[in-house]
Amino acid sequence: MGLNLLRILSNILLDDGSFVLGCVEFDRIIRSIRKECKPDLNMERDFMVPAGIDLHVHIRGAQLSYKEDVRSFSMEAARGGIGLAIDMPNTEPYINNREKIISRLEELKNSRIDYALYSGYPEEYVEDLPIAGYKLFPQDLERNLEPLINSKKLKILHPESPISLKEDRRLRNLWEEYFGIREMYGHVHITHITSKYGVELSKRMGFTTDVTPHHMLISRERTCIEKVNPPYRGEIERRLLNLALFEVDAIASDHAPHAKFEKNMPFSLCPPGVPLVSFTLPFVFSMAIRDIISFKRAMELVSENPSKILGINMGTIRVGNRANITILSREEWRYSTAFSKATTTPIDGYKLYVKPVLTIVEGKVVFDQENVYPIQGVNPFAESERFQ
Ligand SMILES: [Zn+2]
């Protein structure tokens, strides 16, 4: 309550993948979708999609604020059409107990978009806290998984060691890791899969998966700017991974900014990670514009499936869903970051065919081409934020 209804006229991407020129009326929730109305904002030349949901980001902040802070991260995300991002626990300090989760959630209140976090392998009982789930690294699979087996929350797994797919040892590691998670119940999601083989293996085991835009576009590391973990797997694997775009559940950015001085270190010393939170949504919808994938598939990858994986009511433009909405204009532009503290990415200058021109979070305009406004995002996993 307390929020006025806003009506926007645009070409609305409905949840069946079709478009309708009409009006969406919303406060915090989408109240109606109508063919005719008197709009507050006429954007009939553009099209309306659900705001993106990024399942895997490193917001930084706290002691790592020199790389990125909650404010700069969320401004960059809003500008990329993202309405919700889920933070990984490997911050400084590492998030794996009640006290650290509670204080991290306090810090994340500075976010201008919706936010949530995964706990690392927990030191104690944290199941009752408003977390999105648990993040497990390969080494965590050797620990006692008993507490997580009984948890209904999402388990998100970093499946790969950095060793190349072609090397037997890595392959053996992979099988061992998968064998480990096979014994786990509840929803398991495998993040940043780098090979088609990995996608197929995950699907066979009934897990959901995501890939990153950079693993789809880059085949090898030449400089520190491109360096990531897991590493790129070469040109053949890259092409195969692009074919897997029809099988994966989601695309996540794995936004991982670093300071310039860190990326300027010698290759063996510089930290892995690329800052692409604002790239994912326009990249995926550019593929739809170019007929590489359908608009329905684009929506599934960036918002609908992530929402289902998390079990929340957003990700589609549907009456009763949260009003997290992005308006895209059809225009050619070249990618670079705008608000992130990380100003260089390996994809700078990449040609995109759609541009986010308006981002709405919780029914409020957070980004409008030029400006990012100081609205406050919410944690959709908090009890107070759960509504019909
Ligand atoms: Zn990551």
168, 254, 291, 348: the active-site residue: 254
Question: What pairs with residue 19 in β-bridges?
Answer: 13
pLDDT in the model for residue 201: 79
Contacts of 252 (CB under 8 A, 6+ apart): 54, 55, 56, 57, 191, 192, 210, 211, 212, 280, 306
Among the residue ranges 90-94, 111-115, 186-190, 258-262, the one predicted with the least confidence is 186-190
Q: Is 249 a catalytic residue?
A: no
- Centre of ligand 1 to C-alpha 58, Å, is 6
State the pLDDT confidence band at 197, using cuts at 50, 70 and 90. Answer: confident
What local confidence, expressed as pLDDT, does residue 20 receive?
A: 97
Domains of the chain are 51-317 (3.20.20.140)
Of 132-146, 158-172, 258-272, 343-357, the least confident: 158-172
- From the CA of 57, how far away is ligand 1's center (Å)? 6
Q: Give yes or no for residue 187 having a pLDDT over 90.
A: no
> How many other C-beta atoms are found inside a 10 Å radius of the C-beta of residue 286?
22
249 CA from centroid of ligand 1 (Å): 17
Q: 């889920």: which residue's tokens? A: 86
Whole-prediction pTM: 0.94
- Per-residue pLDDT reduced to its tens digit, 32-74: 999 988 999 999 999 999 999 999 999 999 899 999 999 999 9
Q: Quick one: pLDDT at residue 1?
A: 46
Name every residue whose Cβ is closer than 8 Å to that of residue 57 and which is 6 or more positions away in sequence. 73, 77, 85, 86, 87, 88, 252, 253, 254, 255, 256, 277
Q: Which of 2-6, 327-331, 378-382 has the lowest mean pLDDT?
A: 2-6
Could you tell me the distance, in angstroms and rounded to a whole number, from the CA of residue 88 to the centre of ligand 1? 7
Answer whether the bond into residue 230 is a cis peptide, omega within 30°: yes
Mean pLDDT of 161-173: 53
Distance from the alpha carbon of residue 265 to the mean position of ligand 1, in angstroms: 20
Distance 56 CA to ligand 1 centre (A): 6
Tens of pLDDT along 255-309? 999 999 999 999 999 999 999 999 999 999 999 999 999 999 999 999 999 999 9
What would the 3-class secondary structure string for 313-378 be? CCCCCCCCCECCEEEEEEEEEECCCCCCCCCCCCCCCCEEEEEEEEEEECCEEEECCCCECCCCCC
